[in-house]
Structure 1
Amino acid sequence: MTTKRTTAKRMIIMLICLSTLLGTLFGFDVYKAQMIKKIMAGNGLPAATVTSAVAGYQSWQPQLSAVGSLRAVRGVEVTTEVAGLVREVAFNSGEDVKAGQVLVRLNDDADRAQLASLQAAAEFSQTAYTRDKAQYEIQAIAEAQLDADAAELKNRRAQVEQQAALVRKKTIRAPFAGRVGITTVNPGQYINPGDAIVTLQTVDPIYVDFHLPQEQLGQLGPGQSVAVSTSAFAGGSFGGKVRAIDPRVDRATRNVKIEAILDNRERKLLPGMYANVKIDVGSVQRYLTLPQTAIAYYPYGATVFVIKPGMHKNARGEMMPVAQQVFVTPGPSRGDQVAILKGLDEGMQVVTSGELKLKNGTPLIINNRLQPADNPAPTPQEQ
């Protein structure tokens, strides 16, 4: 009996100890869970540093943009029709010349001598014709003789005109007024027909050729104002007007060629330069505007993060703003900016950078010391 009592007492003690141990473990787990919950409630999501901007309305002038190429109103490579030895180069490289001004003279001594010989023969034929005509009038010679004299005179005069034309071709003149380029032709050099002597370009005014998609054709018309800029004169703009629209659309690209004419009296623009062309179309519009960096594009739509002030309390008891993701409908863009058609109201504060690390409810630290680009007409920068 004593042994049974001892065994029972031991079993009771063991059960009490086991119950105490299990209770302690359970209590520790509950305490740990409460502490974790308390810590999480106190700390919450870590704060993210972002930049921000306030959505506001701006005036937009609708524009069509294209890259074009400048072309001279008139431009040729001056050459010669006949071969010859250069006697004189009568211009300086880079100067302005008038229409008909002598540029190059070729050696024409032999040609002029031949012309004089033919002129003498023509004069003799004229004398013979005059004498035979007087003889024919008194019936001293036959009419056939007079006809032969007339034919001979016409032949001689034609030879004179042909030789005179050859002599004129030995003097090469500017076909129109313009500016000559740099020549490498020198006196004493022999040139053949088709050899380039110098380029001649009329640069005031000057054309700009560019292409636009066919869907924009309805917004274009002759006389529309254009603004042209080029990297050679950063910050400068040259005004002009649309002069012609090609009546044919390119089948491969579905683009149409446009020609505009520019005032170039200062002779800054040169043929062959590339140019950025902008054409104002329609009336001025007002759009709610944000920097391009504020918008995130996803397959299900475009979103921005709006900043909601005083929605989160940090460990020090301070109220912090939080991020709230909203869907927006973006509109046209210009430079670094984009128009917002739906989803935002004027005056809303929006995250402009750092949105990739955000989700709804993320506490925010706003630091606007370095803002993303927000230029409606940015220009390339070379570092």
Structure 2
Amino acid sequence: MILPRLSKSALAASIGALVLFSSVGCGKKSAKNPGDGAAPGARAQPVEVVAIEKRDLVETLQLVGSLAPNETAQIRAEIAGQVREVLFDEGQPVKKGQILLRIDDSELRAQLAQAEARFELATQNLRRTEDLITQQFISQADADQTRSDYNAAKAELQLLRVRLDKMEIKAPFDGIAGARTVSPGDYVTASVTATPITTIDDLSRLKIEFQVPERYSLRVRHGTHFHVRARTPDGEDSANGEVYFASVIIDRATRSVQVKGYVDDAPVWFRPGMFVNVELELATRKGVLAVPEGAVLVTAGAGSQIVVVRERDGDKLADFVPVGLGMRTRGLVEITPLKEGVTAGMSVVASGVGALILYQDGKLDPRPLRKEFSIGGDAQ
């Protein structure tokens, strides 16, 4: 019995009926005319057919993940002080090196002036000492002390310049500024536990993070392709991507591995933190014969079969062909015919009109498979 795509329980019941009807039909016929097909003048059975395709089948794994920015940084002060100026707008683009905020540096500038004066004196003392030591008017110990004073003054000056530079907080990369948590006059601390001043997100490229069950972990590696889908105000948007990181550690709590990838040409509505569906490509079978899953019959005695439509003397006849089954994906199944003469392009029975009784060499009236039962999408 050939039916449209059904649930597993309905399909099992239909297959049982097919075996019974086919066995009874063939038995009666064999008793009358062993080896003959349909009785002369028998009415052709209407069936719906599809062509056997030679195509690439991709084994996929359906997962869920979250989008993330290419880079994200929480901006904190490295030196405590009072905020003097806030120089960025929330939600607006910023450039790498752009000054976001200035902290009051008047005390540091005073210390810098002192350090510059000490360094200038140390430089002059070193110059005089070098002249005296060439004339042997000074001991080596005194000369070494002068050089030490010069190096200490130089280091102190460099340290204060670095600290003064850190009083201007700058953007670490191009991105979008987040909400700010300070205003001019606020006091910021240098603690790592302090509230960030703002966040900078690089949205030039999106990443995705998801978990892969441990049974598939060895099949995911750098360069593995995936497809991302998400609901947006414009409907459903999608994009392709590629894995750049697959952890070698399996999480004991979830029994899965962490995987990250880059999303290519992300639609405008994709945002960091968004929930998305991920279709991960695990393997590809090149140039195999494929038919819809509904075209495969599974019987206890004959195993897996397809019903190929063959032409003889102007009639379309049913030919039950045993097949081996391979990869299944997107409603399609890979087949390996165990009988010669089955090639791509040949018609195979995929559905019928009402209850069908099919038997070997039975007459058929092939019709295109109805659109509502066709397999959508491209498995390539």
TM-score, normalised to structure 2, is: 0.60
Q: Give the counterpart of 1:117 among 110, 114, 117.
A: 114
Higher gyration radius (CA): 1
Task: State how 1:27-66 maps to structure 2 within 5 Å.
Answer: 61-66=58-63
2:164 equivalent in structure 1: 167
CA distance in 2, matches of 1:373, 1:252: 42
Q: Percent identity?
A: 26
How big is the shift at 1:340?
12
For the pair 1:134 / 2:131, whether they are aligned, the reply is yes
- Contact 2:83/2:183 (8 A) holds in 1: yes
CA distance in 2, matches of 1:374, 1:76: 49
- Residue 174 and residue 264 in structure 1: after superposition, are their counterparts in 2 closer, same or farther (change >3 A)? farther
CA distance in 1, matches of 2:106, 2:375: 68
2:143 equivalent in structure 1: 146
- Residue 201 and residue 250 in structure 1: after superposition, are their counterparts in 2 closer, same or farther (change >3 A)? same
Q: Give the counterpart of 1:68 among 65, 68, 77.
A: 65
1:107 equivalent in structure 2: 104
CA distance in 1, matches of 2:334, 2:85: 68
2:362 equivalent in structure 1: none
Moved more, 186-195 or 153-162: 186-195
- Contact 2:239/2:267 (8 A) holds in 1: no
TM-score, normalised to structure 1, is: 0.60
3-state SS in 2 of match to 1:204? strand
How big is the shift at 1:173?
0.8
1:180 equivalent in structure 2: 177
CA distance in 2, matches of 1:181, 1:89: 13
How big is the shift at 1:222?
2.5
1:266-296 Cα deviation digits (max 9, x unpaired):
6543322221111343237734345xxxxxx
1:37-73 Cα deviation digits (max 9, x unpaired):
xxxxxxxxxxxxxxxx968679775322110112223
How big is the shift at 1:248?
2.1
- Residue 211 and residue 375 in structure 1: after superposition, are their counterparts in 2 closer, same or farther (change >3 A)? farther
CA distance in 2, matches of 1:109, 1:267: 45
1:241 equivalent in structure 2: 242
Q: Name which structure has the greater RCO, CA cutoff 8 Å, separation 6+.
A: 2
1:276 equivalent in structure 2: 277
Q: Give the counterpart of 1:288 among 287, 292, 296.
A: 292
1:43 equivalent in structure 2: none
How big is the shift at 1:160?
1.0
CA distance in 2, matches of 1:166, 1:129: 26
| Residue identity matched to 2:82 | L
2:198 equivalent in structure 1: 198
3-state SS in 2 of match to 1:82? coil
- Contact 1:57/1:289 (8 A) holds in 2: no
CA distance in 1, matches of 2:218, 2:132: 79
How big is the shift at 1:87?
1.3
- Residue 56 and residue 94 in structure 1: after superposition, are their counterparts in 2 closer, same or farther (change >3 A)? same
For the pair 1:263 / 2:260, whether they are aligned, the reply is no
What 5-or-longer segments of structure 1 have no aligned partner? 1-52, 291-328, 352-370, 378-383
3-state SS in 2 of match to 1:222? coil
- Contact 2:217/2:256 (8 A) holds in 1: no
1:289-347 Cα deviation digits (max 9, x unpaired):
45xxxxxxxxxxxxxxxxxxxxxxxxxxxxxxxxxxxxxx9x9575xx69799xxx824
3-state SS in 2 of match to 1:155? helix
- Residue 218 and residue 131 in structure 1: after superposition, are their counterparts in 2 closer, same or farther (change >3 A)? closer
CA distance in 2, matches of 1:116, 1:174: 28
How big is the shift at 1:262?
1.2
How big is the shift at 1:264?
4.5
- Residue 95 and residue 267 in structure 1: after superposition, are their counterparts in 2 closer, same or farther (change >3 A)? farther
CA distance in 2, matches of 1:188, 1:80: 14
- Contact 2:228/2:238 (8 A) holds in 1: yes
- Contact 1:203/1:264 (8 A) holds in 2: no
CA distance in 2, matches of 1:252, 1:192: 37
1:313 equivalent in structure 2: none
How big is the shift at 1:150?
1.0
What 5-or-longer segments of structure 2 have no aligned partner? 1-46, 295-324, 336-347, 355-370
CA distance in 2, matches of 1:154, 1:178: 41
- Residue 289 and residue 265 in structure 1: after superposition, are their counterparts in 2 closer, same or farther (change >3 A)? closer
| Residue identity matched to 1:258 | V
Q: How many residues align?
A: 267
CA distance in 1, matches of 2:197, 2:212: 37
CA distance in 1, matches of 2:247, 2:111: 51
- Residue 101 and residue 375 in structure 1: after superposition, are their counterparts in 2 closer, same or farther (change >3 A)? farther
- Residue 139 and residue 333 in structure 1: after superposition, are their counterparts in 2 closer, same or farther (change >3 A)? closer
- Contact 1:129/1:153 (8 A) holds in 2: yes
- Contact 1:204/1:264 (8 A) holds in 2: no
- Residue 248 and residue 116 in structure 1: after superposition, are their counterparts in 2 closer, same or farther (change >3 A)? same
| Residue identity matched to 1:96 | P
Structure holding more helix per residue: 1
For the pair 1:98 / 2:95, whether they are aligned, the reply is yes
How big is the shift at 1:225?
2.4
- Residue 135 and residue 218 in structure 1: after superposition, are their counterparts in 2 closer, same or farther (change >3 A)? closer
How big is the shift at 1:106?
0.7
How big is the shift at 1:265?
6.6
How big is the shift at 1:218?
5.0
| Residue identity matched to 1:276 | N
- Contact 1:203/1:267 (8 A) holds in 2: no
CA distance in 1, matches of 2:99, 2:113: 23
